[in-house]
């Protein structure tokens, strides 16, 4: 337990972390990887280069400091991060190493000595937070379908659009596949020719659970260059082997009788399609509105698959093309607007699920809040380091 004095000291660092947090975490990662390059096998190198990972860690530190007197309030964020840790193989023995380098980065960046009350208080706090992560992740490892990365065979590779391929995976050992929750993801472990370290990426499962395969639908990323997505598109084919971790993630659809609203931007359709299929199977009478915002028809992945599912009168599928090739394509032209969004929404209370690029989700989130939708009705998933949409309203 932290003493009252330690909690007061940590609370006093909130404005310091707000100003210098990213500098601290950037220094932390730089020194950690310099001394322990083997950890580069676990981390997304692109997120390091763009600064997204240091920003995400700085945000987590800020949240911990702001809620130090009630750490239970950040448990949902802890669980979200813990899912990713379990998915990529973070283990208990990694936490002391991280703690040592994080405290050293604080000392160096803030000009403090090792016996400064701030460093001592944060050392105590880190120990408590690390123990929470270790316990949560231990339970997740025990509940996972398997440990580590399991060999799969690519049973099929299907072109979905100019930018998206679907990959179907079946166990190389012929064993069964555990069920997953619609909305969850798997991690791909890629040993790419010419690359010194392994690359691990998370991809949402895009098909319904209960089949003899897992499916992911991958967009080729070019800005920044998607090392793993390009590898999958260009070098992985049917009958090749690929290694994946057991399904993880807490962005899952809730069983409810209220209408379900799914809003995707681009390839953000993938976890929502899995949710859509499950609801169609388990709650066939539940009203569903599926809104897809896509650049144009050429990059509209999985479109026909969703279209076929909307045969019932209580299912609505709405497509917004920002720059359509054909003037008659889609239901709306241009970017999604508050007026267009309002026309899709039901009068009664509903559950909303968002997935897509961060700017898209922030825009839709703001529009929903402006339309009177409560934040506890809105769930969303980031394709990248865990962060939270800004409460602008």
The DSSP call for residue 245 is P
Enter the tokens of residue 219.
Answer: 């967009």
The lowest-confidence range among 86-90, 162-166, 252-256 is 252-256
CB–CB of 121/9 below 8 Å?
yes
- What is the pLDDT, as a whole number, of residue 310? 63
Cα–Cα distance for residue pair 64/74, rounded to 1 Å: 7
Three-class SS of 36-55: CHHHHHCCCHHHHHHCHHHH
Q: Of 3.30.1360.70, 1.10.3720.10, 3.40.50.80, 3.40.50.150, which CATH number belongs to 260-381?
A: 3.40.50.80
| Helix %, strand %, coil % of the chain (to 5) | 45, 20, 35
* Range 175-189 average pLDDT: 96
pLDDT of the residue at 200? 94
Is pLDDT of 118 > 90? yes
Average pLDDT over all residues of the chain: 92
CATH number for the domain formed by residue range(s) 4-143? 1.10.490.10
> What is the pLDDT at residue 391?
67
Per-residue pLDDT tens digits for 91-113: 999 999 999 999 999 999 999 99
* CATH top-level class of 150-244: mainly beta
Percent of residues, the chain, with pLDDT higher than 70 = 96
- For the chain, the domains span 4-143, 150-244, 260-381
* Residue 138, pLDDT above cutoff 80: yes
Q: Do 150-244 and 260-381 come out as alike in CATH topology?
A: no
pLDDT of residue 43: 84
Residue 295: pLDDT over 90: yes
Asked if the model's pLDDT at residue 184 lies above 60, the reply is yes
Q: What is the pLDDT of residues 61-74, one digit of tens each?
A: 998 999 998 888 88
Which residues carry out catalysis?
95, 137
- pLDDT tens digits for range 9-34: 999 999 999 999 999 999 999 999 99
**What mean pLDDT do residues 212-218 have?**
97
pLDDT-based confidence at 393, cuts 50/70/90? very low
């Amino acid at each position: 337990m932290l003493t009252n004095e330690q909690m007061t000291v940590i609370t006093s660092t909130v404005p310091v972390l707000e100003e210098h947090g990213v500098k601290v975490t950037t220094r932390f990662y730089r020194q950690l990887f310099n001394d322990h390059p083997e950890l580069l096998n676990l981390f997304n190198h692109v997120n390091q280069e763009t600064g997204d990972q240091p920003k995400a860690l700085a945000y987590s530190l800020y949240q911990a400091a702001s809620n130090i007197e009630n750490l239970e309030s950040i448990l949902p964020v802890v669980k979200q991060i813990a899912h990713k840790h379990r998915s990529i193989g973070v283990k208990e023995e990694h936490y002391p190493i991280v703690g040592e380098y994080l405290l050293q980065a604080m000392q160096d960046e803030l000009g403090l000595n090792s016996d400064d009350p701030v460093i001592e208080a944060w050392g105590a706090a880190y120990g408590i937070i690390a123990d929470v992560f270790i316990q949560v992740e231990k339970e997740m490892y025990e509940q996972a379908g398997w440990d580590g990365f399991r060999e799969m065979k690519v049973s099929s590779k299907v072109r979905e659009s100019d930018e998206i391929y679907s990959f179907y995976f079946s166990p190389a050992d012929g064993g069964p596949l555990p069920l997953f929750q619609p909305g969850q993801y798997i991690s791909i472990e890629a040993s790419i020719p010419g690359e010194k370290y392994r690359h691990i990426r998370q991809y949402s499962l895009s098909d319904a659970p209960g089949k003899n395969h897992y499916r992911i639908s991958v967009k080729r990323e070019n800005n920044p260059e998607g090392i793993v997505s390009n590898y999958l598109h260009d070098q992985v084919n049917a009958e090749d082997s690929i290694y994946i971790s057991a399904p993880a993630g807490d962005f899952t659809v809730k069983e409810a009788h209220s209408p379900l609203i799914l809003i995707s931007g681009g390839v953000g359709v993938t976890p929502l399609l899995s949710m859509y299929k499950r609801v169609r199977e388990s709650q066939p009478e539940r009203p569903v509105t599926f809104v897809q915002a896509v650049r144009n028809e050429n990059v509209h992945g999985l479109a026909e698959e969703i279209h076929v599912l909307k045969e019932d009168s209580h299912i609505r599928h709405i497509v917004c093309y920002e720059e359509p090739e054909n003037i008659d394509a889609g239901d709306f032209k241009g970017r999604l607007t508050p007026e267009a969004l309002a026309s899709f929404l039901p009068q009664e209370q509903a559950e909303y699920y968002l997935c897509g690029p961060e700017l898209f989700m922030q825009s839709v989130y703001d529009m929903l809040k402006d339309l009177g939708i409560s934040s506890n009705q809105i769930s969303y998933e980031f394709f990248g380091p865990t962060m939270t949409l800004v409460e602008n309203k």
